[in-house]
Amino acid sequence: MSRFGHLISIDDLSKDEILYILKKAESFEPFAKGMDKSRILENRLLANLFFEPSTRTRMSFEAAMKGLGGDVINMTAQEASSVAKGETLADTVRVVSRYVNAIVIRHPLEGTARFAAENSDVPVINAGDGAGQHPTQTLLDLYTINKESSLKNIKIALMGDLKYSRTVHSLIKALTLFNPRIYLVSPDSLRLPEEFLEGIDGDISFASLGEIIDEINVLYMTRIQKERFPDEEEYRRVAGSYKIDVNSLKNAREDLIIMHPLPRVDEIHHSVDGTPHAKYFQQAFYGVPVRMAILSEMIE
């Protein structure tokens, strides 16, 4: 197993380990841009097991692995695998872990990545387990904040679906390592679950965007996670709320950065894309060097 073992929750990493990965990711940026070639994972193989849709996470892991000279095998369509014949996840992982040097897994059920790790002979990386955690997204989010703003004196608003967004659940835990001022902006029905507020070391409060837009230096938007709602009617009640456009940013600080893990639906109007505040596409690019740094540490 690698020095980091499995990466299931952002809590698996200390602050020093997080900062180490961010520093290492910086050194991989030229490779991520195709300006240089690395062979450090030559003859190494990664398996992508995706039981839920993905564009960025799956493709950036693939780009990262190939950028390091390694290769990737993918299982994306359950109906085309033996899962459709009733094979259990434990057996799937036991078999695949004998083919590869590491496994990336995304699954709609919380806790699945940890269960996979218990059945794997190789490191397992959680690429999102239901509304649970998405630790590699958090690492690239922290990398984006560090590059485009600062992790020191951070005043951040987390806005949108804070109940079901796994990117927020991971990020808020990591942010507390950096003494942040955190504002939570969401409809009442999509508030951050209490369990994520327990033990938080830092200033945290509920707010509306209008109250804090002239104070924050990071606005982290999230999509309303339709697929996690138990009831379609409950989704319809909040769908379309909590949107921003250029008018919402009139009183924003000049150095405000706007982030979003993507995909977006309608929560950030396209008029925002051309402003210097918009960093979400750059954030998606940073997924490649950050995942290069993660893979280079996790695969022996």
* Contact footprint for ligand CP (CB under 6 A): 54-57, 128, 137, 261-263
Nearest approach in angstroms of CB 58 to ligand CP is 6
CA angle 261-103-10, nearest 5°?
Answer: 45
The residues that bridge with 103 in the sheet, in sequence order, are 47, 124
Ramachandran angles phi, psi of 138, nearest 5°: -60, -40
Nearest approach in angstroms of CB 111 to ligand CP is 18
d(CA 45, CA 207): 46
How far, in whole angstroms, is CA 198 from its chain's centroid?
Answer: 21
Nearest approach in angstroms of CB 168 to ligand CP is 12
Closest CA to 284 of 8, 9, 50, 61: 61
- Would the CA dihedral through 154, 181, 294, 19 be positive or negative? positive
Residue 133 or 296 with smaller CB distance to ligand CP: 133
Residue 181 or 260 with smaller CB distance to ligand CP: 260
Report whether 95 contacts 121 (CB < 8 A).
no
Nearest approach in angstroms of CB 130 to ligand CP is 13
Nearest approach in angstroms of CB 264 to ligand CP is 10
Residue 14 or 55 with smaller CB distance to ligand CP: 55
Residue 123 or 261 with smaller CB distance to ligand CP: 261
Residue 149 or 165 with smaller CB distance to ligand CP: 165
d(CA 103, CA 121): 10
AA identity, residue 44: R
